[in-house]
Amino acid sequence: MPGPGSAHNSGVKFRTVSLVSAICLTAALVAQQQKSKPEDTEVWTPVPPVVTPGDGTAAPSDAVVLLGKDGLGAWINNKGEPSSWDFKDGVVTVRQGAGDLVSKQAFGSCQVHLEWRTPAEVKGSGQGRGNSGLFFMGQYELQILDSYENKTYVNGQAASIYKQYAPLVNASRKPGVWQSYDAVFDAPVFEGGKLKKPAYITVLHNGVLVLNHVEIKGETVYNGQPAYHPHAAKLPCYLQNHGNPMSFRNMWVREL
Ligand code: MG
């Protein structure tokens, strides 16, 4: 027969203590809920600004339109001259030897929408086929490439951060078909000539998430390792002229 302090009595005591604890906890929660009101956790100010969304992929009311129906007024070339890329009916196409398309306005952290089209007639292969790029702050390349059944290094295919990150999936459409990027870019922060916070980017390619808040490792380089070099808080972006007759339309930017 088990005596005082036996395992049997310990079990009864433990269950009794647990039950009392549970009752006390429930009572405390009920008391707390009675003291607080739903209104205590409601925030009413500041009220977010009203933004009118665009129809479909059109620019929202607070966006800076860089490529619309009105020509290349928002752009210059690398020499600071008016760009001579071809523009017709809201579509701009790379002109060989005419340099990159550089935005007049400088941007830091931003949301970007861009539509692009690789040539319908397939010429070349790998990096030589439908190559361009969107350079955030003129430094960090979101690769544009015809990656429809076109093998290349994966951190250089469409929707890669060039030579840094491959996209999660290949969401490319066929050559000659319009495609889209929607990106959220968090600009790097420098303090006292040193990197305080790296850049991050999230990208959707044709509506598919391909880069999920990845940390950019530094300035895009073709050869060697990327590294940060302190720069201004806002810089122009550019569209790369890689010699292929790539087309672009409907580009807008929302500063964050
Ligand atoms: Mg490129």
The whole-number average pLDDT for the span 230-248 is 97
Question: Residue 33's pLDDT band (boundaries 50, 70, 90)?
Answer: low
For the chain, the average pLDDT equals: 92
Q: Is 32 in a helix, a strand, or coil?
A: helix
Closest CA to 216 of 141, 159, 131: 141
242 CA to centre of own chain: 22
Cis peptide before 46 (omega within 30 of 0): yes
Delimit the domains of the chain by residue range. 6-41, 64-255
189-191 and 179-186: which strand pairing? unpaired
- Confidence band, pLDDT 50/70/90 cuts, at residue 40: very high
| pLDDT tops 60 at residue 7 | no
The alpha carbon of 167 and the centre of ligand 1 are apart by a number of angstroms equal to 14
Query: Quick check: 12 pLDDT over 70?
Result: no
Distance 127 CA to ligand 1 centre (A): 8
Q: In the structure, what pLDDT confidence band is assigned to residue 34 with cuts at 50, 70 and 90?
A: confident
pLDDT, tens digit (0-9, with 9 covering 90-100), for 76-131: 999 999 999 999 999 999 999 999 999 999 999 999 999 999 999 999 999 999 99
Tokens coding 38:
């739903």
Distance 101 CA to ligand 1 centre (A): 13
Ligand 1 centroid–CA 159 distance in Å is 10
Pick the closest to residue 64 from 28, 20, 108 (CA basis).
108
Q: How many A from CA of 68 to the centre of ligand 1?
A: 23
| Tokens read off for 33 | 């809920």
Report the alpha-carbon distance of residue 54 to residue 144 in Å, rounded.
25
Distance 143 CA to ligand 1 centre (A): 5
Ligand 1 centre from 31 Cα, in Å? 62
pLDDT over threshold 90, residue 138: yes
Question: What 3-state DSSP class applies to 241?
Answer: coil
pLDDT tens digit sequence for 44-83: 999 999 999 999 999 999 999 999 999 999 999 999 999 9
Q: What is the pLDDT, as a whole number, of residue 2?
A: 45
Check: CB of residue 247 under 8 Å from CB of residue 92.
yes
pLDDT at 144 over 50: yes
Q: State how far the Cα of 210 lies from the Cα of 109, in Å rounded to an integer.
A: 19
pLDDT top residue among 202 and 12: 202
Query: Residue 190: pLDDT band by 50, 70, 90 thresholds?
Result: very high
Centre of ligand 1 from the C-alpha of residue 156, in Å: 8
Ligand 1 center from residue 176 Cα (angstroms): 17
pLDDT in tens, 161-171: 999 999 999 99
Ligand 1: distance of its center to the CA of 221 in Å?
11
What confidence score (pLDDT) does residue 224 get? 97
Architecture of the domain delimited by 64-255: Sandwich (2.60)
Share of the chain above pLDDT 70, in %: 87
CA 1 to ligand 1 centroid distance, Å: 84
